[in-house]
Amino acid sequence: MFNKILIANRGEIAVRIVRACAEIGIRSVAIYTEPDRFSLHVKSADEAHFMGEDPLAGYLDPRRIVDMARETGCDAIHPGYGFLSENAEFAHICEQAGIRFIGPSGDVISKMGDKTAARASMIKAGVPVTPGSEGNLASRDEALELAEKIGYPVMLKATSGGGGRGIRRCDSAEDLHYAWERVISEATKAFGSADVFMEKCVVDPLHIEVQILADSHGNVIHLYERDCSIQRRNQKLIEIAPSPQLTPEQRTYVGEQAIKAAHAVGYENAGTVEFLVRDNEVYFMEMNTRVQVEHTITEEITGVDIVREQIRIAAGETLAYRQEDIQYHGFAMQFRINAEDPKNDFLPSFGRITRYYAPGGPGVRTDTAIYTGYEIPPYFDSMCLKLVVWAMTWDEVCNRGIRALNDMRVQGVKTTAPYYQEILKHPQFRGCHFNTSFVPNHAELLNYSVKRHPEGVALAIAAAIAAHAGL
């Protein structure tokens, strides 16, 4: 087992990894840039080292991070998610320096990060994929010709894309004509590559992803699926495990296909295989070669500590579980609490947290790096915490979610929490009849009114009295 791990990330996922290290008895090393000087991951780790004034550069320089790991005596690096977590060069540099990258090999990251190469691997393995281009598209004219063949609507996607960026739905030749330059521009800015490909658009599908674990001894298991259909502009908002919409046969099938996909590319460590499901049709979409933001809900229904298993696998140990050991119980739901104003087109709401209170009670978990007095910097993702609830039945988990969201207090910034309560109350959601079009099809849910809690009113009155007394 490792002695010391450098965490090449920030925020809640860095805190999550620090906790996993502490439970195994491994020392943790955090890195930070100036805006994160007072961040919780800096306070929580055994050591923390400054990476410069620039908010992003210190988290995005693979050679400097590896040098820091060597200087601090680390024998492994955990990349978390985002930043360099799916950067093949980073994995290769770690290998060259004799430091274990806690994730798959650079070659696998490169293969699965290239969406056209990933499609080719899945086709070869017999995993179903959506009709589309066999490789990258050379020109807009080629794209228009292919779209006529496979039929509209189509999805134009960045080959190196992810996180909902570099992707556009085109319902007509006119849409495709205008989307072409935009997707190329987004792909170049976000991923450093202008390569794009095309897939047939599966209309109103379920977005289903399967969590897998694979060790270096050829063992692969799945931890069942998550339903990520509640999303806005391809950005996930609420995730559920297991999906309340899959049949037992579909659940078995997607699990088998995920394992087949992992074997096909020689996968190692934790990963996620994503599918689009409509009726009885299942299509491979992509593979994420890292821990997912929503790994929490899989942990809740299976009892498996995914981050701990990542570390064990990277250390060369065999999986602690066989497939027959994995059972799921109840339902878990994760809410991405973003510092955004849903009523103002989800505009970011960065600023100082004047009060934070985490909800509790049975089946409630919060993963976060915020605290009262923390200043949310404007340089990073707007997600400030993940609220996770678990219960034995679907109705119970929905009710627990409403209660926990109502109990939670994040004051000083606007968040998406009130909006999620409206989603949980909607009869279509409660009846398990939703897909990726739920959010755009229910714009009326944004017409909620924010209820002021008694203590919030009392604080406002006290502040007004204090201000008046100061006069």
What percentage of the chain has pLDDT greater than the value 70?
95
Average confidence (pLDDT) over 392-406: 98
Contact 273, 257 (CB under 8 A): yes
pLDDT at position 452 is 66
Nearest alpha carbon to residue 201 among 157, 232, 136, 145? 157
Report how far residue 394's alpha carbon sits from residue 400's, in angstroms, rounded to the nearest whole number. 10
- Categorise residue 192: left if φ over 0, alpha if ψ from -120 to 50, beta otherwise: left
pLDDT in tens, 358-369: 999 999 999 999
Residues paired with residue 264 on neighbouring β-strands, in sequence order: none
Contact 83, 41 (CB under 8 A): no
Calculate the CA dihedral of residues 172, 173, 178, 179 and round it to 10 degrees: 60
Contact 336, 386 (CB under 8 A): yes
Nearest alpha carbon to residue 411 among 334, 352, 335? 352
pLDDT at position 470 is 58
Nearest alpha carbon to residue 65 among 9, 121, 130, 109? 9
Contact 291, 200 (CB under 8 A): no
Nearest alpha carbon to residue 413 among 373, 360, 460, 471? 373
Q: Which amino acid, one-letter code, is at 204?
A: D
Dihedrals φ, ψ of 75, to 5°?
-110, 5
- Comparing 153 with 457, which gets the higher pLDDT? 153
Which structural domains are found in the chain, ordered by start? 4-102 (3.40.50.20), 131-200 (3.30.1490.20), 206-446 (3.30.470.20)
pLDDT at position 468 is 63
Average confidence (pLDDT) over 127-131: 94
pLDDT in tens, 307-355: 999 999 999 999 999 999 999 999 999 999 999 999 999 999 999 999 9
Residues paired with residue 387 on neighbouring β-strands, in sequence order: 335, 366
Dihedrals φ, ψ of 137, to 5°?
-85, 135
Q: Is the peptide bond before 153 cis (omega within 30 degrees of 0)?
A: yes
- Categorise residue 195: left if φ over 0, alpha if ψ from -120 to 50, beta otherwise: beta
Q: Give 181's DSSP letter.
A: H
Which residues, 6 or more positions from 20, have their beta carbon under 8 angstroms from its beta carbon? Answer: 305, 307, 308, 311
* Residues assigned a catalytic role: 290
Report how far residue 427's alpha carbon sits from residue 322's, in angstroms, rounded to the nearest whole number. 38
Report how far residue 60's alpha carbon sits from residue 436's, in angstroms, rounded to the nearest whole number. 32
User: Per-residue pLDDT for 458 more than 80?
Assistant: no
In the structure, what pLDDT confidence band is assigned to residue 469 with cuts at 50, 70 and 90?
low
**Burial group, residue 308, by CB count within 10 angstroms (0-12, 13-18, 19+):** middle
pLDDT in tens, 412-430: 999 999 999 999 999 999 9
Report how far residue 102's alpha carbon sits from residue 30's, in angstroms, rounded to the nearest whole number. 15
In the structure, what pLDDT confidence band is assigned to residue 460 with cuts at 50, 70 and 90?
low
Ranked by mean pLDDT, the top range of 58-72, 124-138, 454-468 is 58-72
Contact 370, 380 (CB under 8 A): no
pLDDT in tens, 174-198: 999 999 999 999 888 888 888 999 9
pLDDT at position 2 is 97
Q: How many residues does the chain have?
A: 471
pLDDT at position 154 is 96
In the structure, what pLDDT confidence band is assigned to residue 275 with cuts at 50, 70 and 90?
very high
Report how far residue 421's alpha carbon sits from residue 439's, in angstroms, rounded to the nearest whole number. 13
- Comparing 250 with 165, which gets the higher pLDDT? 250
